[in-house]
Amino acid sequence: MRAPFGITTLLVLLFYLSGCSTPKPVKPDLSVPESFTHQPAGGDAASLKGRWWEDFNDPSLNALIERALKNNHDILLATERVLEERARVGIKSAELFPTIDLQIGMSRQKQTFLSPQSGGRASTLISTVSVTPVASYEVDLWGRISSAKREELARLLTSVENRRVALHTVVSDLITLYFQYAGTLKKIDLAKSRIESSKKTLKVIENRYNRGIANYLDLIQARSLLSESKAKLPSLERQREDLLEKLSLLVGAYPGSITINQKVVDYVSALKPVSPGLPSDLLLRRPDLRAKLSEADAAFNALRVSHAKRFPKISLTGSYGWLSDELRGLFEPSSLIWQLSVGVLSPLFDANRLKLEEEAALSRYRQSLIGYAKTVLQAFYEVETALMKEEFLRKERASLLDLLESTQRAYRASLNRYQRGLTDLLRVLETERSLYQTREHLVDTETALLLNRVFLYRALGGGWTDDEKMEIKPDK
């Protein structure tokens, strides 16, 4: 009678095994270019490593960044997500091992029965005491549990890379705001300088008008220039305070609680050409690309979990303990009990639910691969755009420096001609306005050059090779 049962069991197992075609991972088919289109000549690839912002040699900026790394809430949240995922990996790892529980039971019941001796009703009290360790274990025959663990490991790696993304984002945003703040201070100084210049011009015109040398139109034009100069200052001061409040938010401080002791620094002169390196290296450097790749790995293992759910679960359960009607005889050899059982739970009918879940998981895996390819393309776009902008911004700055020199000469010449009575005041005011507009344009261009450099470092995935800053420790 045993042979048919054994053959039937074997046939059933072979049937299940024949259907276990485990999904295979798909390698993203990416063909990256061999070099960047706007790659500068003589760039330094070493500047991509380490704390690149320290090259600006600004202690105030460095202090703000250190404060942000400690107090920024986005970084703190990203760190907690890493710790959460780390715990989830431990949970899934524990499922690969047996669970052992201890069951302790005590019961007392009264039973009533007909006594054969007296023919009447009789009762008795029955007491039982049991101590039984129970072990259970699911055999991971189809890899469901191990795939679930690998899925959580991939999600852990994703959270680590997302934390790096948060670090990149916070530092880049802070430096961007800081350079915008510095540019605004320069424009405020220019506005104040123009106001003082307009006051001096008005005073000269008033003296000339009182002596009958200048006409009334010159006086009106000088007053108009002063009003125009004063009108720009409040907007710039508002912009300065707004940037300061945004910096406070980034460093995790309340508005109005930080001050910046910023000195006039020629940041642009500290900018050296940056070599973007090989395009293939970009795939390894950028944390957002590594995060997307880990997401795809997690989606693949989730697909394997969905696939394994379609096959039987095999569970082993065993118990070994003692059962007695008296506590004092509980651990006697005669009270020993044990049990060993094997259970198989197999889906029979679920209206195609498990198959559809696997198809949905397969679609999510494909989506993750598409998302990775899209992010790679976006990364190359950002690098090429930043390299292109730096090339043209440097040309624009060089042209503005030449223009500034020309407008300074034109202003001095027109002022000299006006003092000698060879031209009217309008010509002087026009050249003065052109001079200050050129200076403002130069400040804007230099600020744009700095902001683009920050964007370039971020696009290239520069910085954060420092393992100390990436160390994650839970709060005690």
Residues whose CB is less than 8 angstroms from the CB of residue 243 and which lie 6 or more positions away in sequence, other chains included: 177, 180, 181, 184
Look at 22-36, 108-122, 212-226, 380-394 and tell me which has the smallest mean pLDDT.
Answer: 108-122
The pLDDT score that the predictor gives to residue 286 is 92
Answer whether residue 227 shows pLDDT above 90.
yes
Question: pLDDT-derived band of residue 322, with 50, 70 and 90 as boundaries?
Answer: confident
Return d(Cα 53, Cα 48) in angstroms, integer. 10
**Residue at 59 is within a domain:** yes
Tokens of 432: 């003065």
- List phi, psi (to 5°) of 344: -125, 120
Q: Are residues 272 and 123 part of one domain? A: no
Q: What's the average model confidence in pLDDT over 188-193?
A: 94
Of 74-88, 93-107, 258-272, the range with the highest mean pLDDT is 74-88
**Residue at 147 is within a domain:** yes
The pLDDT score that the predictor gives to residue 329 is 63
CB atoms within 10 A of CB 405: 11
Q: What's the average model confidence in pLDDT over 398-422?
A: 91
- List phi, psi (to 5°) of 246: -65, -35
The pLDDT score that the predictor gives to residue 163 is 96
Q: Are residues 366 and 392 part of one domain? A: yes
Answer whether residue 1 shows pLDDT above 50.
no
pTM score of the predicted model: 0.84
Q: Are residues 387 and 257 part of one domain? A: yes
Q: What is the pLDDT of residues 12-54, one digit of tens each?
A: 554 555 455 678 888 877 788 888 888 777 666 555 666 888 8
Residue among 427, 149, 119 at smallest CA distance from 297? 149
317 or 125: which leads in pLDDT: 317
Q: What's the number of domains the chain is made of?
A: 2
The pLDDT score that the predictor gives to residue 12 is 56
Q: What's the average model confidence in pLDDT over 377-406?
A: 95
Q: Indicate the helix (H) or strand (E) that contains 387.
A: helix 353-419
Look at 7-21, 61-75, 178-192 and tell me which has the smallest mean pLDDT.
Answer: 7-21
Return d(Cα 460, Cα 274) in angstroms, integer. 10
**Residue at 16 is within a domain:** no
Q: What is the CATH number of the domain that holds 383?
A: 1.20.1600.10
Question: pLDDT-derived band of residue 258, with 50, 70 and 90 as boundaries?
Answer: confident
Q: What is the CATH number of the domain that holds 133?
A: 2.20.200.10
The pLDDT score that the predictor gives to residue 310 is 93
Sign of the alpha-carbon dihedral angle for 288, 289, 295, 301: negative
Residues whose CB is less than 8 angstroms from the CB of residue 296 and which lie 6 or more positions away in sequence, other chains included: 28, 365, 368, 369, 371, 372
* Residue in the structure block whose two tokens are 């790892």: 93
Q: Are residues 286 and 335 part of one domain? A: no
Q: Are residues 358 and 264 part of one domain? A: yes
Q: Are residues 60 and 145 part of one domain? A: yes
**Residue at 2 is within a domain:** no
Return d(Cα 77, Cα 70) in angstroms, integer. 12
Residue among 394, 381, 374 at smallest CA distance from 296? 374
The pLDDT score that the predictor gives to residue 49 is 64
Q: Are residues 264 and 115 part of one domain? A: no
Question: Last residue of a domain, which of 345, 368, 396?
Answer: 345
* Beta-bridge mates of residue 138: 315
The pLDDT score that the predictor gives to residue 42 is 64
Return d(Cα 84, Cα 71) in angstroms, integer. 19
The pLDDT score that the predictor gives to residue 43 is 61
Q: Are residues 82 and 45 part of one domain? A: yes
Q: Are residues 105 and 88 part of one domain? A: no
The pLDDT score that the predictor gives to residue 278 is 84
Q: What's the average model confidence in pLDDT over 429-455?
A: 94
The pLDDT score that the predictor gives to residue 327 is 62
**Residue at 13 is within a domain:** no
| 3-state DSSP percent of the chain in helix, strand and coil, to 5 | 65, 10, 25
Under a CB-based contact definition with an 8 Å cutoff, are residues 427 and 132 in contact? Answer: no
Q: Are residues 299 and 440 part of one domain? A: yes
Answer whether residue 66 shows pLDDT above 80.
yes
The pLDDT score that the predictor gives to residue 11 is 43
The pLDDT score that the predictor gives to residue 338 is 83
**Residue at 18 is within a domain:** no
Instruction: Give the range of the structural domain holding residue 332, as residue numbers without chain letter.
Output: 99-139+314-345
Q: Are residues 305 and 321 part of one domain? A: no
Q: Are residues 321 and 419 part of one domain? A: no
Under a CB-based contact definition with an 8 Å cutoff, are residues 267 and 451 in contact? Answer: no
